[in-house]
Amino acid sequence: MPVQPVVIGVDSSTQSAKAAFIDAATGRTLAVGRAPHHVGGEGGARESDPEVWWHALREAVAAGLKESGLHPSAVIGIAVAGQQHGLIVLDRAGLPVRPALLWNDTRSAPQAAALTEALGGPEAWTARTGSVPVASMTAAKWQWLRENEPRAASAAAAVRLPHDFLTERLAGTAATDPGDASGTCWYSTATGAYDPELLRLIGLDADLLPPVAATGAARIGSLTATAADDLGLPVGIAVAAGTGDNMAAAVGLGFGGAGLLDHPALSLGTSGTVFAASRTRPASAALAGFAAADGTYLPLACTLNCTLAVDKIAALLGLGRDAAEAGGEVVLLPYLDGERTPDLPAASGLLTGLRHTTTRQQLLGAAYEGAVVTVLRALDEVLRACGLDPSDEAVAARPLRLVGGGARGRHWVETVRRLSGRPLLIPESTELVALGAAALAASAATGNDPVALAAGWQGDAAVELPPVERDLETWERISGVLERAAAPTLLS
């Protein structure tokens, strides 16, 4: 009896590694292995040892093989989707010189501001890269390293993003893809290549960077004997270029040239992200104008404070996540780690409108509302980048796909529904990043379009929620506080 081919999609996120074993023909999830990561750092620092990511990937693959009961010979391909923007500096032996600087490390905010000015302002950057440097972007982190740890920067024999690092371990070949590369601010979405002027600006040698594959689905090599031995998989299976986690989630949703274009998604996780695949190249200072994994574009806005920030407020109040009630007059902006959208890297949380009658449950509800209004305001910018008017009734009637861990939380869903006034679609799959990575792996192994594959795998498997009347009173109250707070130093 022939063995049904299987692909592995790896989601290497900030907190953990997940390896999804997917039936390449049907998209059925056979198993998901998991292993934790460790994040260290105090204040604005957020760092991880990249070697921990490789060990976690090995553990996740081993756990998935055990759970599925599959013989390793069934596996035909593997791809990694990784947390974006992280900076890994390797020595001549391919080993990390220091821990990776993660996307949510905000120490590089001064360098981001200086880089923005050095090129001539936000418009100059968006014209080239589609994005403006903020603390999250890799170029700002490299500049921080040069200024604060020059010995580590000068020891660099290679510079990689998180998914690049793991993909190179799999295939023995250095490679990245346009999607993840577009989050560095040294890759131009206008030319589809590294930008020589930007590399000179930050003092980075192009020879330190990996070649850029045509797409995240491109086969960049085969699983090496060493990696195969580490993972318990067959030597020579297809290794895709892979991509960033947001790009993989878009593929997993069926967003792209062979699927849905200009349809919005909102991801509620450690960060809150909103994105849509589009043929329009985005160039707005208000968002990240990324490339997508399939050759289209992925205008995206990201907030730093989402589910973890609200969980922290719940813990401080001694409440469970779903004990929240509508916030009433209270406004709580849970900017506990600074904020990326709006760009307030030195921000802290803000509470206003407190009354004698305010309850703990309302305070928690206000934290949800502050996080949701922040990310929904960013959604309007994403729609504009797609050439759409957010106030147009036809645009507002398009379902908002709600994904991420928060999409499984009752109060998160209720708050998004109430403050957006949009119909919601909640896909059944809870591992869209890994599913998208699996589609890239299947494409590398078979040559089929990854977005079309993922769209076929997903089908109509989603919970549909009709729109409810929008809570404009709460929206306007929180928006007013946001606009006042973003201008002066109130949040600093």
Residue 367, token pair as written in the block? 């934290």
Tell me the C-alpha distance between 20 and 461, whole Å: 18
Q: What is the distance between the alpha carbons of residues 101 and 145, in angstroms, rounded to a whole number? A: 9
Tokens 């409440």 -> residue? 319
Tokens of 285: 């200072």
CB neighbours of 219 closer than 8 A, spacing ≥ 6? 238, 239, 240, 241, 444, 445
- DSSP symbol at 357: T
Instruction: Enter the tokens of residue 459.
Output: 């089908």
Under a CB-based contact definition with an 8 Å cutoff, are residues 334 and 310 in contact?
Answer: yes
Q: Where are the beta strands (DSSP E) in 344-438?
A: 350-352, 400-403, 424-427
Based on the residue annotation, tell me whether 245 is a catalytic residue of this protein.
Answer: yes
The pair of three-digit structure tokens given for residue 477, joined into one six-digit string: 């109250």
| CB atoms closer than 10 angstroms to residue 380 | 18
Residue 380: helix, strand or coil by DSSP? helix
Q: Which of 358, 361, 287, 348 is nearest to 320 (CA)?
A: 361
Catalytic one of 11, 105, 195, 245: 245
Say which amino acid occupies 141.
Answer: K
Q: How far is CA 175 from CA 57, 91, 318, 462, in A?
A: 18, 17, 47, 34
Task: Indicate which residues carry an active-site annotation.
Answer: 245
